[in-house]
Amino acid sequence: MGTHSARQRGAALVSALVLMAAVLIVGFSSVHAALADAQSARHERDRQVALRAAEAALLDAERELAGTPASAPRFAALAGTGFIDGCGKAGSENHGLCTRLSPPAWQVIDLAGDDAALVTYGTFTLRDLPGVAQPPRYLIELIPLNPAYGRFYRITALGFGQRDSARVVLQSFYRAAPATGPPTTLPRGRIGWREIANWPALHAAAK
């Protein structure tokens, strides 16, 4: 009789241990899922910060192309003579102004690096963007089309999130209308934009 009771107690103990282990596994799984969701949410928020920073850099370059007073010394360059192969370097009037190469400058230059051709946000428009790991930066390329219809530019911008690892590359196409010329239905200003999610791969291939 005593042996039978001991066996019952042993079986109950094993069942309790199995049940506790199952509860612990479920608990750990729930905690892991909650932490993964929280991390995913943080990454998405940081990506949104980087996206807004890249958009701010596009607008910064577009303000410059539109002729803000702070960029007045670069008017002659923006008319076309200041765009050079390989892009102008910091300290020059053609800073960040590039001609269209193959592969294009926005692929060749490391947008996330410290290349002197990159224009930091606010350099010419005197604006500031707090709350990011690094200020966004951009390049402007002159697209060689018929100037009678205006001048066309490609702007490529990189924005950072609150962490340096959160990065978004955006690109816009901009048209500056000529003072005179043939009639056209082309819009003035931004005529399109896109996100370049695979920029790291394109940059590696261009090198």
pLDDT tens per residue across span 190-205: 999 999 999 999 999 9
pLDDT at residue 1 tops 60: no
Rounded to an integer, the average pLDDT of 126-135 is: 92
Distance CA 44, CA 49 (A): 9
pLDDT, position 3 = 63
pLDDT, position 107 = 94
* Residue-range domain boundaries for the chain: 30-206
pLDDT tens per residue across span 132-179: 999 999 999 988 887 777 788 999 999 999 999 999 999 999 988 766
| Three-state SS at 27 | helix
pLDDT tens per residue across span 18-73: 777 777 777 776 666 555 555 667 889 999 999 999 999 999 999 888 875 556 56
DSSP H or E segment with residue 173: strand 167-176
| Three-state SS at 26 | helix
Paired tokens of 129: 């963007």
